[in-house]
Structure 1
Amino acid sequence: MPFNLPIFLTWLRIVAIPLLITVYFLPAAWLTVEERNLAATVIFIAAAITDWADGYLARRLNQTSAFGAFLDPVADKLMVAAALIVLVQLGRTDAIIASIIIGREITISALREWMAKIGASKSVAVSMLGKIKTTAQMVAIPMLLFQSPLAGVDMQQAGSLLMWVAALLTLWSMGYYLRMAWPEIARRSKKIDEGY
């Protein structure tokens, strides 16, 4: 297993997951609700920064690797899933939103793995729509973790609205990827039906 600075940053993102969750299970005497929210927000934003940094450094330092390419999206999806589950537990987002986003990530990850296995991974390469969806949820999640008004903005209300936008973009992007993969899926299904 290779180990370099980009991969180290990716591992830090994975380590941040239990830290984010633990913040909300510490004894009440240790942290106020506002302090918990701030700590969780800082942890999530720091993790999001490492997501950008590890990709940038891997390219800049010529330290890209197959293991890093595998681990990076896994770390991203685990971090987002953990944050969404925490937000559902706290009553700050709807379970349906978490289910849509997590379900989409599982579906598209499985689709990409299958498409790579049959040599058609370019059909489901990351699109601009997927990047916009990711940006929306990566902004909405810290807003909902922080929750308190900031600079006159109701973070709970704004974050909730943006999370619904992220959920709609999630469904749209899933439809896009499935549509791109459909010709290959149909072709393979036809071969199976014909007994090849």
Structure 2
Amino acid sequence: MNIPNLLTSLRIFLIPILVIVYFLPWEGRFYASAAIFGIAAITDWLDGFLARALNQSTPFGAFFDPVADKVMVSVALVVLVAEYNSVLMTLASAVIVGREIVISALREWMAEMGKRASVAVSFVGKVKTTMQMMAIFVLLSNPPGTEWAILGLGILVVAALLTLWSMFVYLRAAWPELTAK
């Protein structure tokens, strides 16, 4: 266990806390859950930075980090879908979660083929992730129906569109392998 892996573990630990805090009958729940998500988002960036800077990359971290990211984002989106009761929120969240499942499966399959590098994280994927984190943070920190929540939903829709675009980029890169005989 090293510092990057501890940060990733912290992110997993924060998931149930985020859910519990968000649904507490307390006025400060929005800001508190957004703060928890913000800490998790920062650890997402920090664990990768430290793993590279301190040369502490491990097979466990390479596996666990993307899992922690996807679970944290997916759980936060499920919480928001439950709270907002909105078709647009549900559709954008379904696109984001669905893409994560498709691309995770694609990466696993490509790794088995020895071609994982062809579906490595792209710039579009990084922009998509940043937009998702911003949208979720804004949505968690504001009750539904407020101007900020509407802005957060707009950012989430943009993130969902970037999600589709990045999925297209990954699928196009893998297409020769997917259609090979």
Q: What SS is found at the alignment partner of 2:151?
A: helix
Between the two proteins, the alignment pairs up a number of residues equal to 178
Q: Which of 11, 25, 43 is the equivalent residue of 2:9?
A: 11
Can you list the C-alpha shifts for 1:142-189, whole angstroms capped at 9, x where unaligned? Answer: 1011116xxxx93112111111000111111111101110001111xx
Partner of 2:142: 147
**Alpha-carbon distance change, 92 to 165 in structure 1, aligned in 2, over 3 angstroms:** farther
What one-letter code is carried by the residue in structure 1 that aligns with 2:113? Answer: I
Larger Rg: 1
Shift of 1:92: 6.5
Matched, 1:165 2:158: yes
Distance 1:115 1:54 in 2: 25
The CA RMSD over aligned residues, in Å, is 1.5
Distance 2:102 2:79 in 1: 22
Partner of 1:65: 58
5+ residue gaps, structure 1, are 191-196
Q: What SS is found at the alignment partner of 2:121?
A: coil
Partner of 1:23: 21
Partner of 2:132: 137
Q: What SS is found at the alignment partner of 1:90?
A: helix
What one-letter code is carried by the residue in structure 2 that aligns with 1:14? Answer: I
What one-letter code is carried by the residue in structure 2 that aligns with 1:144? Answer: L
User: Are the counterparts in 1 of residues 12 and 68 from structure 2 also a CA contact under 8 Å?
Assistant: yes
Distance 2:151 2:85 in 1: 12
Partner of 2:119: 124
What one-letter code is carried by the residue in structure 1 that aligns with 2:70? Answer: K
Shift of 1:98: 1.1
User: Are the counterparts in 1 of residues 131 and 159 from structure 2 also a CA contact under 8 Å?
Assistant: yes
> What TM-score, normalized to structure 1?
0.87
What one-letter code is carried by the residue in structure 2 that aligns with 1:104? Answer: R
Structure 1 residue runs of 4 or more that deviate by more than 6 Å after TM superposition: none
